[in-house]
């Protein structure tokens, strides 16, 4: 067991409500203690190609927190805290995270949440933010890893087939993919083509397809069979009662981020304006969001950990652009070192044409201490996807 740790009270996110947090215990109540569904559903909806193409330049950032909370109620998760800057609002949720940029929204939820049930409300909130063609967003991506306990999911998440049918009812011309082994780790992806609709409905600002120089890259690492010793770091330290720990969740999370070196994945020495918001659940489990301003834009990262040995899982996702000091490989090695997974899946989505950045994906072919099993490359309209699976060397 780990020793009790000192908790820095001042580290609690300033924009977090000071009162205790309402966590949705219903999502875990129906599951045996040792069987939490870590693998997340991930929805990314782009209403315009860039913040400059948004109504009033602020787009989705004009939607009030209480309206997002209404949408999240339908999904069955709660807001724990938010960190904000001019470019993004990063919401830490009871089941993962949400990032709201002016032109796009990223919603990632785990457990038995019903992410897609929130879709209709999301589209109408986008309409209220001035996206007059919100029913046909500029681009939609929905993806997830294969579930560990698919039978426990609620409609429409009971099967990939059901999810695709649900998405097809909302969007025209979507394509659905099963990526990877049927009888091993695999990943599902649904996406629509770029520019099937105008961002604002105003023909003067209508943007169809990808602009020259459009940049976007998202790296996801989905890890299972975590090293038990390292997973122990994501349990409540000895000496905490559950009442204390729930009100200290953010402070405990901050300490955990520092002890595990999660807060050094994008170090403040290199990214001085970076901010981290983290939470340690009771009796275990951890979530964190990072907001990382870079010279070109503000990026995000997010980590979620289910440390229970029977269903251990951790995910990392980022869109912080690669650089000579933070290549995709360097980031992958730092993250994998924290969790020591037995297996992991890596997906790297890159807007095509960013030649300098594409070198990053090729460099992730070899990860120290791991054997690569699969490498699958897709060339989609405007994007390349690299899907890789790795297993720890014996």
Ligand X SMILES: C[S@+](CC[C@H](N)C(=O)[O-])C[C@H]1O[C@@H](n2cnc3c(N)ncnc32)[C@H](O)[C@@H]1O
So which residues are the catalytic ones? 96, 110, 287, 304
Does residue 320 sit in helix, strand or coil?
A: coil
Q: Is 92 in the site for ligand X (CB under 6 A)?
A: no
Alpha-helical runs (H) found in the chain: 26-29, 65-75, 119-128, 160-170, 228-231, 242-247, 249-259, 328-339, 355-362
Q: Is 27 in the site for ligand X (CB under 6 A)?
A: yes
Known binding residue 344? Answer is: no
Query: Judged by CB under 6 A, which of 305, 367, 385, 386 binds ligand X?
Result: 305
The one segment of 120-128, 211-219, 249-257, 303-311 that binds ligand X by CB under 6 A: 303-311
304 is an interface residue for ligand X by CB under 6 A: yes
On whether 95 is known to bind a ligand per the annotation, the reply is: yes
Closer residue to ligand X in complex, CB, 49/285: 285
* 357 close to 217: Cβ distance less than 8 angstroms: yes
Q: What are the structure tokens assigned to 89, written together? A: 């609002």
What's the first-to-final CA gap in the chain, in angstroms? 27
Check binding of 245 to ligand X (CB under 6 A).
Answer: no
Residue nearest to ligand X (CB): 285
Give least dist CB 213 to ligand X, A: 34
Judge contact between 187 and 145, C-beta under 8 A: yes
CB 207 within 8 A of CB 138: yes
- Biggest alpha carbon–alpha carbon distance for the chain: 63
Does 284 help bind ligand X (rule: CB under 6 A)? yes
Query: How near is the Cβ of 308 to ligand X at its closest, in Å?
Result: 5
The rounded distance, in Å, linking the Cα atoms of 23 and 25 is 6
Q: Give me the least distance between CB of 223 and ligand X, in Å please.
A: 9
Cβ-based nearer residue to ligand X, 305 or 351: 305
287 binds ligand X (CB under 6 A): yes
Stretch that binds ligand X, among 205-213, 281-289, 322-330, 363-371 (CB under 6 A): 281-289
Residue whose CB is less far from ligand X, 38 or 293: 38
Measured at the alpha carbon of residue 40, what is the angle toward residues 37 and 42, in degrees to the nearest 5?
160
Among 3, 25, 183, 324, binds ligand X (CB under 6 A): 25
Shortest distance, position 28 Cβ to ligand X, whole Å: 5
Confirm or reject binding of residue 281 to ligand X (CB under 6 A). yes
Instruction: Say which residue the tokens 């999904």 belong to.
Output: 75
Instruction: Please pick, from the candidates 11, 16, 50, 96, the single residue that binds ligand X as defined by CB under 6 A.
Output: 96
Measured CA to CA in angstroms, residue 70 lies from 66, 67, 152, 197 at distances of 6, 5, 24, 26
Size of the site for ligand X (CB under 6 A): 25
CB of 289 to ligand X, least distance (A): 12
Nearest of 316, 324, 281 to residue 300 by alpha carbon: 316
């Amino acid at each position: 067991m780990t020793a009790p740790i000192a908790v820095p009270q001042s580290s609690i996110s300033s924009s977090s409500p000071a009162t205790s947090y309402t966590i949705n215990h219903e999502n875990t109540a129906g599951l045996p203690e040792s069987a939490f569904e870590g693998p997340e559903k991930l929805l990314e909806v782009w209403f315009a190609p860039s913040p400059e193409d948004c109504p009033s330049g602020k787009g989705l950032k004009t939607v009030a927190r209480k309206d997002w909370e209404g949408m999240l109620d339908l999904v069955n998760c709660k807001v724990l805290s938010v960190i904000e800057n001019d470019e993004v609002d990063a919401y830490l949720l009871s089941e993962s995270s949400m990032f709201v940029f002016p032109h796009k929204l990223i919603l990632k939820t785990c457990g038995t949440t019903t992410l897609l049930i929130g879709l209709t409300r999301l589209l109408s909130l986008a309409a209220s933010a001035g996206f007059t063609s919100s029913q046909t967003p500029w681009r939609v991506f929905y993806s997830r890893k294969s579930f560990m306990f698919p039978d426990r999911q609620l409609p429409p998440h009971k099967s990939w087939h059901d999810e695709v049918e649900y998405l097809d009812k909302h969007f025209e011309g979507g394509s659905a993919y099963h990526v990877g082994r049927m009888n091993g780790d695999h990943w599902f992806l649904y996406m629509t083509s770029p520019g099937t609709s105008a961002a604002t409905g105003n023909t003067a600002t209508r943007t169809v397809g990808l602009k020259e120089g459009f940049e976007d890259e998202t790296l996801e690492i989905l890890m299972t069979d975590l090293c038990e010793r390292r997973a122990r770091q994501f349990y409540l330290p000895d000496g905490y009662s559950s009442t204390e720990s729930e009100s200290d969740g953010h402070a405990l999370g901050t300490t955990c981020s520092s002890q595990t070196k999660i807060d050094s994945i994008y170090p403040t020495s290199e990214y001085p304006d970076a901010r981290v918001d983290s939470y340690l659940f009771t009796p275990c489990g951890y979530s964190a969001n990072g907001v990382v301003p870079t010279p070109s834009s503000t990026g995000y990262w997010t980590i979620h950990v289910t440390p229970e040995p029977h269903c251990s899982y951790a995910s990392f996702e980022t869109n912080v652009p690669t650089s000579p000091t933070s290549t995709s490989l360097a980031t992958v090695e730092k993250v994998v070192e924290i969790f020591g997974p037995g297996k992991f899946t890596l997906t790297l989505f890159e807007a095509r044409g960013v030649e300098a950045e594409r070198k990053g994906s090729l460099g992730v072919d070899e990860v120290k201490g791991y054997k690569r099993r699969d490498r699958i490359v897709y060339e989609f309209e405007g994007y390349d996807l690299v899907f890789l699976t790795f297993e720890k060397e014996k």
